Amino acid sequence: MMLGVVRRKVASDASSALIKRKSWHWSRPVVSTPRVSTAVAEEIFLHPGCTRSFSDFTFSGSLDLTSSRGIKDNFLPQFTMHTWKRPFCSNSGDLVDAVVPFMGESISDGTLATLLKKPGDKVEVDEPIAQIETDKVTIDVASPEAGVIQKFVAKEGDTVEPGTKIAVISKSGDGVTHVAPSEKPAEKATPEKKVEQPKQKVESAAAEVKKAEKPKTEAKASPPPPKVTATEPQLPPKERERRVPMTRLRKRVATRLKDSQNTFALLTTFNEVDMTNLMKLRSDYKDAFVEKHGVKLGLMSGFVKAAVSGLQNQPIINAVIDGDDIIYRDYIDISIAVGTPKGLVVPVIRNADKMNFAEIEKEINTLAKKASDGSISIDEMAGGSFTISNGGVYGSLLSTPIINPPQSAILGMHSIVNRPMVVGGNIIPRPMMYVALTYDHRLIDGREAVLFLRRIKDVVEDPRRLLLDV
C-alpha cells in the first residue's frame, strides 16, 4: 500500500491568504493590513488505511476569522475548497476502526464469512483480520494499524457493505480484555431488566391499555409464512443428514448457469483432435522453453492460440446479442475456467491475439495461482469474449459445457486417451482428445460453429499453420 504525501504551502500577503479548516481557532484575529511573512511548507503524511479529511479554502482580500459564519457570509462566492478523504478506516486517537474495503464496481455487499482473529489478539499493519465472501471472490479485511483488537462489531454471517465497521483496534492495547464475545450480551442484559421494572409499576395503567391492543398490532405486524416453491423444496430432516447454507459464490454460479440455460438456444457440436504433433512439439522444446522463458510449455497455450485463430476466421463466434443488436468485438479476451475449492471462477487473458506462447503460459499460471489462493481480483475476472474449459484435467472424456454469459460460445477440452486410429491405411495408437463447442444458436449457425471447431482441430494437429497463417 502506498504512503500518501500531501504538500501544502501557506503564504500570507496583501492579496491572498490560505486558511486551513483544522486551524479555525487562532489566538488573535487577522487584520487586513498588509504584512510580510515567509512561506511555510507543511507535509502531512497519511498512514495507509487511516481516514483523514481536510480541506483548503483559498480567499482573496482581507479576512475576519472571528467566526466561521463571517467567512461563509463574506467570502462564500470567492473561495475554492479542495477535500481529500481516505474512506476505509476511522481514527480517533488510540482507537482505530477496521472497515470493509471497496469490493469492486459490480459488488454492493458481501457476507462476513470468517473472523480470522479474536478480541485481545495482536495484529500488524495490513494483517487480515476477517474475510468477506462476495458473489465472485473472497476479500480480506486488513488491520489499518498495528495494535490489539479491542472488539468485533460485526459477527460471522452478517451482510456488510463497503465502509461497514468490522472491528475496533487499540494501537496501544489499553482497555483490551480477553473476554469471549458470548459473555458480553449477558453482562448487558442484567441492567436492562432492572431499569424496566420500575417503569412497569409507574405506568401500569398505560401498560394495560397497550396489552389490550397488542394482539391486534402483532397480528398485523407478523410476517407472512415463507412460501415454499416447487423449485426450492424444503425437505424434512432425516438422520445422518446436515443442512449447510450455500456460499455466495456457489449461489451466484448456480444463478448464472441457470440463466444461461433459460436465455440461450444452446447447441453443442463435437470433433476429435489428434494430439501427436502438439505433444511432440512440447516434448522437443520443453527444456529450451523453460530455460529461456522461465515457465513450462503446456497444452493450454496451444489451444488458446488455436482459439484465437478460429475467432479471427469466424468473428461471429466472438460476438454477442444485446437486445435487438449484435455486438461485434474487435478484441479477443479468452476466459479460462478454473475450478477452486470454493467454486468456479473464470479469469480472463486480455488481448490474447497479441500474445505469444510464453506470455500466454505466464498469464495462465499467474491467474490460476491467484484463483486457487483466493487473491484474484474482480477486474481480472470481468469481461471475456470466449471461454475455454478443460475438464480433461479431472479425467472427463466428453461433456457439453454451458455458455458463460454474456458470451456466445465455449470450448470444452477433455482428457487425452490413446485410441486406435487409421493413419495411412494402418491402424496405430494415437493420443486423441474430444473437443466440444457449445454455442448460442440464436446468433451462430451450424456452419460457423463447425468451421470454427474444425479450425481448432487443424491448428492443434499441425501447429505450423500458425507460422504460415494458413
What is the per-residue burial (b if ≥16 Cβ within 10 Å, else e) of 34-64?
Answer: eeeeeeeeeeeebbbbbbbeeebbebeeebe
17 CB neighbour count, 10 Å cutoff:
19
How close are the terminal C-alpha atoms of the chain, in Å? 48
44 membership: H or E segment, kind and range: strand 40-46
Q: What sign results for the dihedral spanned by CA atoms 177, 182, 183, 186? A: positive
How far are the Cα atoms of 54, 209, 275, 293, 309 from residue 285, in angstroms, in the given order? Answer: 60, 89, 16, 12, 22
How far are the Cα atoms of 63, 332, 369, 408 from residue 28, in angstroms, in the given order? Answer: 12, 66, 62, 71
Find out whether 127 and 121 touch, Cβ atoms under 8 Å. no
> What Rg, from alpha-carbon coordinates, does the chain have?
32
Find out whether 123 and 147 touch, Cβ atoms under 8 Å. yes
**Nearest by Cα to 421 from 269, 276, 270:** 276
Find out whether 147 and 77 touch, Cβ atoms under 8 Å. no
**Strand ranges, E, within 108-255:** 110-115, 122-123, 128-133, 138-142, 147-152, 159-160, 165-170
Grid cell for residue 433: 482428445
**Nearest by Cα to 275 from 372, 160, 414:** 414
Half-sphere exposure of 404 (CA within 13 A, CB side): 24
**Residues assigned a catalytic role:** 441, 445
**Strand ranges, E, within 93-214:** 95-99, 110-115, 122-123, 128-133, 138-142, 147-152, 159-160, 165-170
Supply the angle between the helices 276-293 and 357-373 in degrees, to the nearest 10.
80
- The DSSP code for 405 is T
